[in-house]
Chain A
Amino acid sequence: MNHPMSPTAPSRRVRLTPLTVRDYLVLLLAVLIVVLPLGYMILASFKGPGDLATTDLVVFPEVWKPENYSEAAQKVPFGRLFLNSGIVTVVGAGLKVLLAILTAYGLVFCEFPAKKYVFWGVLATMMVPPQVTALPNYVFVSSLGGENTYWGLILPGLGTGFGTFLLRQSFMQLPYEVLEAAHLDGAGHWRRLWHCVVPMSLPSIATVALVNVVYEWNDYLWPLIIITEPEMMTLPRGLTLLQNSESAASSFGVLMAGTVMVLLPILAVFAFLQRHIVNGFTQGGVKG
């Protein structure tokens, strides 16, 4: 497959034909349709009741009200939520990547009679949406006391088919000679994994890591079910709490402040690592 993110040469001259104009209009329209609502949301997060509770179109706040952010933080413990989301994302995505590396290594470089079936069993999990397993998992995890705990939040989502699948493909393409040389030098599996396979597969591992980071940060259903105490909520879960506590139209400012806190970190990560992220998500197919 061609690389989707092929860079465009900025110095190339473009003739202004009607076709070029048309394509520029399409692109401009597409960019505006994405940027305007997000910009509007950010502006709204600084609006006070006067700018919100009006039927007129107010784009820029007449009175800037950054207090929306502190107000949001008073209604919902946003600092704590940020920390929780960070912990869940780093630990969850980190462990998922580690599990995927180990599984993919075993599947590619070790011998086992029923290896093919193990692979299919792992791969088939990509067909099972978390919503289908949510109810029994809730019953199981809460019976073990996992409600409102970090382990209850993180553990059930760790088994990974997507990462295993992607890394297995990447490991299979590694140069045979290097690994055989390491083998002849007496390097065991563990050494070969960390000194040869992982360093040679860093781009794929980064891709898997980023996809999982995005997934963990945004995950909503499981935290919604397993967490009820504000102190243990992740950011998206906390938004629900904020939404339920806010009902007046003028409170959209506070709600938008909370929303910005959820969306902006991912947008920032995306701005720097978009190529890897786009690759990961377009290779993965399902999930999002």
Chain B
Amino acid sequence: MTAVTTKRPRQALSGRRVREWLIFLAFVLPNVALIAVFIYRPLFQNIYFSTLNWTLGSKFATPVGLGNYRDFFTSGEASKVLTTTGIFTVATVGLTLALGLGVALALNRKLPGAGFAQATVFAPYILSGYGVGLAWLYIFDPNIGALSAILRDVGLNSPEWINSPPWTLTMVIVVYVWKNLGYAAVVYLAGLQAVPGDLLEAADLDGAGPARRFFAVTLPLLSPTTFFLMVTTILNSLQAFDLLIAMDKLGRGARTLIFDAYLTGFKEQSQAGYSAMLSTVLFAILVVLTLVQLIVVERRVHYR
């Protein structure tokens, strides 16, 4: 790893060696200090906050131990918020992966214009979630939106996207998938391009049709890509916020864990302690998911 420094025998702390350490510190310290102050410090402070009964802006806080956690998990709010989070995550991840793979399969044929199609499909992924949410809010508007006009033309009434919580959640899921689909398509495309052609040819010679080739050869070979995408999109969905608040300002339908943490901490009753508890729960979920990913990837590496 140390490419340039010359090798010398192990020795006691020499001046040169200490100097080299100091140089290292000079290089990394700005970033490390910022990380310590603005990521690790608040991360642990947040856990401490989660044990307080404390209103944001108030000078007084009462320690309540695990009271906030108990309230959350016993009041039925947990099941409500976690269900919304679960539905949002499972639906967005499932749809993003399935549709992304479909688009990737079409892109993989390398037809003229495929490059343009790929760039276009990817574009929403890098747009502001808040802006995208507003643009779609106009389309979904039950009275004046384009979607309601189209539905009316085919003889249907527009669902109450704004006032009915399940429909609001549906709307947010659709738009979130629209925004993230291109990411999955591009990653799947890279995976598809790594599928060896001779394997597919061999299957072809053995008389396997296109569907059979896809399910028996391509899909299994894509499983590492699918796993990678599943983890990254789950983590992304759990952190989705901008788009949700743009389309569902008060959190009536799409109140996921992260959205709940914002609304309870900074809006509504400004219950900072309770909000800190919610984001600690979210962080715990993220850590578990990341560890699962590391363990699985580790296994796969050894397997090869």
**Residues of A at under 8 Å CB distance from B?**
1-10, 12, 14, 19-20, 22-24, 26-27, 30-31, 33-35, 37-38, 40-41, 44, 52-57, 59, 99-100, 102-103, 105-113, 115, 118, 121-122, 125, 127-129, 131-137, 139-140, 155-161, 164, 172, 174, 176, 179-180, 183, 189, 192, 214, 217-218, 220-221, 225, 235-236, 239-240, 243, 249, 252, 255-256, 258-259, 262-263, 266-267, 270, 274, 277-278, 281-282, 285-288
Contact = CB atoms under 8 A, between A and B. Distances in A.
A264 to B, nearest CB: 9
Interface of B is mostly: helix
Contact of A20 (B111, B143, B282): B111
Contacts of A56: 149
Contacts of B37: 159
B281 to A, nearest CB: 10
B284 to A, nearest CB: 10
Contacts of B173: none
Interface string B176-219: 00101111011101100110000000000000001000000000
B: interface residue count bin: 35 or more
The listed residue with most A CB atoms (<10 A of its CB), out of B36, B131, B183, B262, is B131
Interface in B3-60: 3-5, 17, 20-21, 23-28, 30-32, 34-43, 45-46, 49, 56
B122 interface: yes
A180 B7 CA distance: 12
A19 to B, nearest CB: 8
Contacts of B242: 218, 220-221, 236
Given A156-B38, A159-B37, 4 more contacts: A122-B32, A218-B128, A282-B183, A288-B183
B130 A236 contact: yes
Contact of B24 (A111, A135, A158): A111
Contact of A99 (B24, B30, B135): B30
B115 A5 contact: yes
Interface in B137-152: 138-139, 141, 143-144, 146, 148-150, 152
A52 B138 CA distance: 10
B27 A274 contact: no
B74 interface: no
Interface stretch (B64-72, B81-89, B164-172, B232-240): B232-240
Contact of A136 (B41, B113, B258): B41
